[in-house]
């Protein structure tokens, strides 16, 4: 029997954003961040250690991937192979569960699921905190997808890889939900990695971004302790906008927005003005995510459907952390 590991990881949306690395090789961020794990979007991944293979093989949604994509996976698997002191090549099969209209194909769930599956296959048995430091080195935001609910990613110290990890902050079972407004689901033109670097190097607002993200995080953790949804929402919206303002200050300016992003933001503002608390955030793409109370979701959805098509309005509950899948739970 060849050793095999299978794992599910959900994607996450940052409420306090990560936008920039102080060490690109180790994926060490400029500031700590905080996210909400989402139930509706996830990746299932299996890894088989196979002595008969001469190189890693990577299938995504049953499509064999090329050299460039496979190299990223190989580099990531090498972290585990080094730790386990093995050289065995791997067959990796990944399935993304993202409503096709969402445009949220996420490296966060992908690398988190791969980390969980490889941890199983190698028998390394790393604890979740250590696993989050491994996931981080596939994609920064993946470090947070190890856990469910509200999750903090500690920026850590200096160039010390082990010091930068995620921890669960709150299970977020106090009436929290999110609605994704899918504006455009095409591939983004500028990767986060390149966008971050360009912002650090050229935006005069970058140091203020890091300062305010740090103080926003402190305030947000206080709001979470108090279960103060309004403050949580206000800080989420403010922090996301500040990240985008910092990008606009880059040279050349970076904008992921589209006309319908503005339309969605305006729609949410109008709903809020009717007395329903709901707040927007956006990432490295034009889609708008709405943080709201789960108990208000139906009402907000109905109002959004006046302006957007049903397939563009995707509600989701709070998601859980990584889950190892058994043979019988693997339905592919
Ligand atoms: C975040 N984003 O905190 C921020 C907000 C997008 C905007 O993390 O280079 O795919 O692989 O570490 O994690 C998206 O960037 O970038 C991201 P890498 P990643 O969620």
Which residues form the pocket of ligand 1, taking CB atoms under 6 Å from any ligand atom?
A: 14, 17-19, 27, 33, 107, 139-141, 192-193, 283-284
Domain edges within the chain: 4-171+322-329, 176-316
Residue 320 phi, psi dihedral angles, 5° rounding: -100, 175
Phi, psi dihedral angles at 48 (to 5 degrees): -115, 125
Say which CATH topology domain 4-171+322-329 has: Ribosomal Protein S5; domain 2 (3.30.230)
Q: Where are the alpha helices (DSSP H) in the chain?
A: 67-84, 107-122, 128-136, 192-202, 206-226, 229-248, 259-273, 297-304
Distance CA 144, CA 153 (A): 6
Check whether 99 has a pLDDT greater than 90.
no
- Residues in the chain, how many? 332
146 alpha carbon – ligand 1 mean position (Å): 15
Confidence of residue 104 (pLDDT cuts 50, 70, 90): confident
Average pLDDT over residues 9-35: 98
176-316 carries CATH number 3.90.420.10: no
Which of 284, 285, 288, 291 for a ligand 1 pocket mutation test, highest count of atoms within 8 Å of Cβ? 284
Q: What residues does 35 pair with on adjacent strands?
A: 14, 151
| Separation CA 229–CA 186 (nearest Å) | 32
- Give the rounded percent of residues in the chain with a pLDDT score beyond 70: 98
Average pLDDT, the chain: 96
What pLDDT digit, counting tens, does each position of 160-182 carry?
999 999 999 999 999 999 999 99
Retrieve residue 289's tokens: 């995510």
Q: Quick one: how many helices (H) and strands (E) in the chain? A: 8, 14
**Arithmetic mean of pLDDT, 310-330:** 97
């Amino acid at each position: 029997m060849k050793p095999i590991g299978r794992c599910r990881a959900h994607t996450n949306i940052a409420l306090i954003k990560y936008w920039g690395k102080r060490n690109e090789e180790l994926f060490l961020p400029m500031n700590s961040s905080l996210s909400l794990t989402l139930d509706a979007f996830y990746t299932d991944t299996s890894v088989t250690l196979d002595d008969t293979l001469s190189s890693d093989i990577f299938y995504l949604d049953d499509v064999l991937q090329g050299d460039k994509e496979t190299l990223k996976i190989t580099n990531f698997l090498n972290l585990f192979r080094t730790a386990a002191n093995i050289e065995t090549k791997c067959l990796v099969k990944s399935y993304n569960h993202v409503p096709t209209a969402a445009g949220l194909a996420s490296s966060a769930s992908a690398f988190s699921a791969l980390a969980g599956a490889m941890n199983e296959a190698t028998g390394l048995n790393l604890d979740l905190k250590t696993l989050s430091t491994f996931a981080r080195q596939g994609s920064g935001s993946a470090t947070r997808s190890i856990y469910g609910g509200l999750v903090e990613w500690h920026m850590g110290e200096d160039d010390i890889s082990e010091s930068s990890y995620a921890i669960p902050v709150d299970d977020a079972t106090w009436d929290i939900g999110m609605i994704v407004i899918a504006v455009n689901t095409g591939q983004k033109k500028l990767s986060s990695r390149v966008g971050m670097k360009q912002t650090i190097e050229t935006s005069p607002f970058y140091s203020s971004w890091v300062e305010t993200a740090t103080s926003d995080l402190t305030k947000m953790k206080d709001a979470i302790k108090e279960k103060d949804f309004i403050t949580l929402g206000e800080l989420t919206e403010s922090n996301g906008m500040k990240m985008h303002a910092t990008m606009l200050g880059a040279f050349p300016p970076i904008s992921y927005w589209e006309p319908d992003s503005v339309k969605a933001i305006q729609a949410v503002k109008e709903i809020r003005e009717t007395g329903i608390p709901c707040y927007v955030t956006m990432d490295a793409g034009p889609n708008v995510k709405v943080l709201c109370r789960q108990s208000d979701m139906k009402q907000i959805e109905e109002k959004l459907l006046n302006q957007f098509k049903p397939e563009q309005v995707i509600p989701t509950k709070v998601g859980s952390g990584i889950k190892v899948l058994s043979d019988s739970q693997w339905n592919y």
